[in-house]
């Protein structure tokens, strides 16, 4: 098996490292951090495909550059569901999540003020990659608990079976690699 998977994303070619999940399955590692050109291009393309919304939410941390850039281009606000509570958080709401790229269970937190801001708003959930959908489910739970109205769920890439989902918006399919 090659050590890299090359693909076109938002008109740009990138080589993604192949990373083993276990003895049978590997994934192509997609990280937008520090790739400003790719982040800007993906934001532009996703904006074209996404419904109208009032606010964007993403989970800490890999979706942050994309959520920021989409919000910047649109002049909207974005919120980050944090992986740990911070001193400034007042009465945070939380939900547990286990994603494919994380070894253990994590918790996502949303400050009560941010939760209140979501109430009644049209919310777009953004992530870099949707694979198992666990991170997406956690964000949906947080938005629903806050009283937000989810109008769309989008990512740059849909990995494996996620590409068959009809309830998500994405730019490209990302295959899984089997030994």
CA count, 13 A, side-chain hemisphere, 158: 16
pLDDT at 134: 87
pLDDT at 99: 61
The whole-number pLDDT of residue 86 equals 86
Residue 89, sorted as left (phi over 0), alpha (psi -120 to 50) or beta, turns out to be beta
pLDDT on residue 102:
58
pLDDT in single tens digits along all 179 residues of the chain: 559 999 999 999 999 999 998 999 999 999 999 999 999 999 999 999 999 999 999 999 899 999 999 999 999 999 999 988 888 888 899 988 766 555 667 889 999 999 999 999 999 999 999 998 888 999 999 999 999 999 999 999 999 999 999 999 999 999 999 98
Cβ(92)–Cβ(110) below 8 Å: yes
> What CA–CA distances, in Å, run from 147 to 117, 123, 166?
9, 10, 24
Strand partners, 79: 57
Say what the pLDDT of residue 15 is.
97
pLDDT score recorded for residue 101: 57
């Amino acid at each position: 098996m090659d050590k890299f998977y090359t693909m076109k994303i938002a008109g740009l070619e990138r080589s993604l490292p192949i990373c083993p999940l276990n003895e049978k399955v590997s994934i192509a590692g997609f990280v937008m951090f520090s790739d400003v050109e790719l982040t800007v291009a993906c934001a532009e393309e996703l904006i074209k495909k996404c419904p109208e919304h009032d606010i964007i939410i993403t989970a800490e941390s890999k979706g942050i550059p994309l959520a920021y850039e989409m919000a910047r281009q649109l002049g909207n606000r974005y919120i980050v569901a944090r992986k740990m509570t911070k001193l400034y958080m007042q009465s945070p709401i939380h939900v547990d999540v286990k994603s494919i790229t994380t070894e253990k269970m994590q918790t996502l937190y949303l400050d009560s003020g941010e939760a209140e801001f979501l109430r009644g708003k049209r919310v777009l959930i953004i992530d870099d990659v949707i694979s198992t959908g666990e991170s997406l489910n956690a964000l949906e739970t947080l938005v629903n608990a806050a009283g937000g109205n989810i109008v769309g769920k989008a990512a740059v890439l849909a990995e494996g079976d996620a590409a068959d989902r009809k309830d998500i918006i994405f730019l490209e399919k990302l295959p899984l690699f089997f030994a």
